[in-house]
Amino acid sequence: MVQHIILSIGLLCLGRADATAQKIFGIAGDVFGSYDLETLERDTMFYLVDRVTLNAGFNSTIDRFNGRYFFGGNLPGYEGNFHVIDLNENTVSSHHVTPTPTHIEYDFVRNRLVFESDGGIYSMDLQSLVPRKLSQVENSHSTIWGQKR
């Protein structure tokens, strides 16, 4: 009983620390940076060649477990339409993926992305980077909401 209480308190403390030590990552103008929700500090991770004009063709998601930020769309200074930003090393690997991933969600259980593009829902294994069509979307219009469970 005492061990259970100590374990519960330990997990509660760890959960609380993780919840307050969150960072938001993203692109603002020509900067890829982070914003710490606990300390309110901003950090420029790297500069892009030119300003990014965000529109409906851009989307992103994050793998917080492995420190990867996935970006679908054109990124100035990088070839390809899909980019993996390593948040630990501040490096970008760019890839040509057809179709262009939009409305991206990270599926951590299967280490894949699920995304909508060109009127269909696709999954893409992050080892092979080969998209596989899962289904057609009626009227070629939909949006993926929330994390895949």
Strand-pairing partners, residue 83, are 71, 94
Q: Kindly state the tokens that stand for 75.
A: 């990124």
Model confidence pLDDT, tens digit, residues 58-107: 688 999 889 999 988 888 888 988 999 999 998 999 999 888 887 889 99
Report how far residue 102's alpha carbon sits from residue 148's, in angstroms, rounded to the nearest whole number.
Answer: 15
* Four-residue CA torsion sign, 33, 71, 29, 141: negative
Phi, then psi, of 80 in degrees rounded to 5: 100, 175
Q: Which residue has the higher pLDDT, 9 or 95?
A: 95
The pLDDT of residue 55? 55
- Show the DSSP H helices in 36-106 as ranges: none
Helix (H) and strand (E) counts for the chain? 1, 11
The pLDDT of residue 77? 86
The pLDDT of residue 6? 40
